Structure 1
């Protein structure tokens, strides 16, 4: 998984705290975590295409959440950035090498592939079962006062 997923999730969390009435530029979101603005902007574009964020052009433009935080799952964000392709790709290497047998030996699914599919399904279920609102609540409990500090930082920057 790329660092873009981490960046996207942090930006979504910050936008949830800033609120739906204020758009935040990619440059400002990048400044908050000292990230490269151009690269972060490239990570935010797929979120807009997936309708997780909205993008508004102009001097008062920027990004904001397109939906309520409870409607955005962590899987939605991961899928927007990484795509929905399976993480593990079985290439059937068991059919190669010095012990490779005849094709009828490989009618049953590869057990490594089956194990990896189960693990990925569990991972995706866990991400689909958590939404951005769950994350804001968990972070707020772990770091009391953080949402207010984040809001102030973004509001002061907007002047």
Structure 2
């Protein structure tokens, strides 16, 4: 499964927002990660449409998490940015060509489709098991001051 670069950007932003004491402007998030503001805005809009972040208006406007970081999974972010469609779509190729299997003989998915489905389910379960809070904890690791430094930079 290949994910877009927007997934990486969105995950990093979600981790940053989990550390923020107040809404963070999109331009500040783009500056922090040294990425395109316009492309990042698309990822933030996708997260907002999915209900993972919300925009705060006004002088102190920007983005904030819409729910606690431990209630947002990596899968939530991936699906918000790249969609929820399966990684593999069976086209029933076994029913084509000179040795085609008749449709009435195809009562269950073929072994290839079944294998790909199991792999997709496992991949989704692994991403569902990790939250933004888990990522934030991993990012800080032993450096408990990392978020303090980050908060300072965001409010400067």
Above 0.5 in TM-score? yes
Q: Deviations over 1:28-80 (max 9, x none)?
A: 11111111101111110121122211102333211011111111111111111
Match runs of 1:25-104 below 5 Å: 25-104=25-104
Shift of 1:10: 0.3
SS of the equivalent of 2:147 reads helix
Out of 94-103 and 106-115, give the one that drifted further. Answer: 94-103
Q: Work out the number of aligned pairs and report it.
A: 154
The answer to whether structure 1 residue 13 and structure 2 residue 5 are counterparts is: no
SS of the equivalent of 2:54 reads strand
Out of 71-80 and 56-65, give the one that drifted further. Answer: 56-65
Q: TM-score, normalised by structure 2?
A: 0.90
Q: TM-score, normalised by structure 1?
A: 0.88
The answer to whether structure 1 residue 119 and structure 2 residue 119 are counterparts is: yes
RMSD: 1.6
- Structure 1 residue runs of 5 or longer lacking an equivalent are none
Aligned residue in 2 for 1:154: 154
Structure 1 residues 68, 32: CA separation in 2 closer, same or farther (over 3 Å shift)? Answer: same
Query: Quick one: distance in 1 between partners of 2:47 and 2:147?
Result: 22
